[in-house]
Chain A
């Protein structure tokens, strides 16, 4: 797990507070100091759910009234939402969506033509609110590639209330298809692309091959931060 060491950052907090107060009106200047770099935005794509499922919790493996789990490699996806000073951002909504193991999204433009193909047990979309440590958590499947998107990915949206702060995607570090993926390869520069990559690691205590993945997201200044 690669959690960003908040404690390490604390010793500079007083300096940073003074610095940020001083530079409040100059926050776009390139010289501004940052502990963490902003996560890049990545296209939303065409398949954000057009009709939200009844169950939108953070367990995408099991639908509320179902006993049958989704097909796929179960992945415990965790992470933090932070600002560039490394401070946790609580109370933000983290939304994720991805296609099922049979390559079908929870969007009628994809799911209706592929009605017979889809995994009806996969929730396809989930929501979670960050806690006071900025943390979020989902149980989902390891994303799969499909024609047109050789990079397996999970879509993310970060919101404060209804207001969207960031739309992005995470991808699997070391997956060969990333290098052929137009969305990935056209994202920003080498730093931006690096910030999208996540290690999928075997979960130590799991006997059924579950994985863990940690994806920290760093937001730039938002209007509320300008005070």
Chain B
């Protein structure tokens, strides 16, 4: 009785351990955000940080600049900026013209550009472009004749 129950208990423990391992293996790999699990079906969907949605706050905005911070000193120098598309924006944000974009300057740029969006009133109807995209209800072919895109 005792030996049998020990054996059964042991078997049970073994099964539990095995099951937990299977469950562990079945988990998605750690370190992949939702973007990492996005399959090939996501046109325009950048894996990881979705640049289309933009930074939600000043911290995220600064973090975006700092992905180019090669020496990891917490600021972005002009020499580190290899993306020539961003030179003009860098210069406009570099308020003390020291060729270095510090977090305070990144924050100031985020604040000024976020406010501008709210004040100008370009938020009106996103014309017919704002309607559902492909696959949505009333998608591409069922949409009423558009005014303008």
B98 within 8 A of A: no
Comparing B7-15, B18-26, B38-46, the segment that makes contact with chain A is B38-46
Count of chain B residues with a beta carbon within 8 Å of a chain A beta carbon:
60
Given contacts A167-B44, A220-B47, A221-B47, contact A194 B149 (CB under 8 A): no
Q: Within the complex, what minimum Cβ distance (angstroms) separates A193 from chain B?
A: 8
Which A residues are CB-close (under 8 A) to B70? 12, 33
B6 within 8 A of A: no
Contacting B45 at CB < 8 Å: which of A35, A41, A148?
A41
Q: In the assembly, what is the distance between CA of A109 and CA of B55, in Å?
A: 35
Q: What are the 10 closest A-B residue pairs judged by CB atoms, nearest first? A: A188-B54, A164-B43, A41-B44, A148-B148, A28-B48, A189-B54, A148-B127, A190-B113, A185-B122, A220-B46
Q: Contact between B113 and A34 (Cβ–Cβ < 8 Å)?
A: no
Give the residue among A2, A46, A183 with the most B Cβ atoms within 10 A.
Answer: A46
Closest to B117 in A: A185
A18 within 8 A of B: no
Which A residues are CB-close (under 8 A) to B126? 182-183, 186
Against A, the Cβ 8 Å flags (1 = close, 0 = not) of B51-73 are 11111000001011101101000
Which B residues are CB-close (under 8 A) to A194? 85-86, 88-89
Main SS class of interface, B: loop
A187 within 8 A of B: yes
A-B contact pairs, 7 of them (CB 8 A): A4-B83, A30-B63, A46-B131, A146-B148, A167-B43, A188-B53, A220-B51
Q: How many A-B residue pairs have CB under 8 A?
A: 189
Which A residues are CB-close (under 8 A) to B53? 188
Using CB atoms and an 8 Å cutoff, list the residues of chain A in contact with chain B: 2-5, 8-9, 12, 25-47, 86, 103, 105, 109-110, 113, 146-149, 157, 163-168, 179-195, 216, 218-223
Using CB atoms and an 8 Å cutoff, list the residues of chain B in contact with chain A: 29, 31-33, 35-36, 39-40, 43-49, 51-55, 61, 63-65, 67-68, 70, 82-86, 88-89, 109-110, 113-114, 117, 120-131, 133-134, 140, 143, 145-149
Which A residues are CB-close (under 8 A) to B45? 41
Q: Within the complex, what minimum Cβ distance (angstroms) separates A4 from chain B?
A: 5
Which A residues are CB-close (under 8 A) to B67? 30-34, 37
Contacting B89 at CB < 8 Å: which of A113, A190, A216, A223?
A190
Q: Within the complex, what minimum Cβ distance (angstroms) separates B14 from chain A?
A: 30
Q: In the assembly, what is the distance between CA of A181 and CA of B109, in Å?
A: 20
Given contacts A4-B84, A167-B43, A220-B46, contact A41 B51 (CB under 8 A): yes
Closest to B139 in A: A46
Which A residues are CB-close (under 8 A) to B117? 185-186
Q: Within the complex, what minimum Cβ distance (angstroms) separates B92 from chain A?
A: 9
Q: Contact between A27 and B36 (Cβ–Cβ < 8 Å)?
A: yes
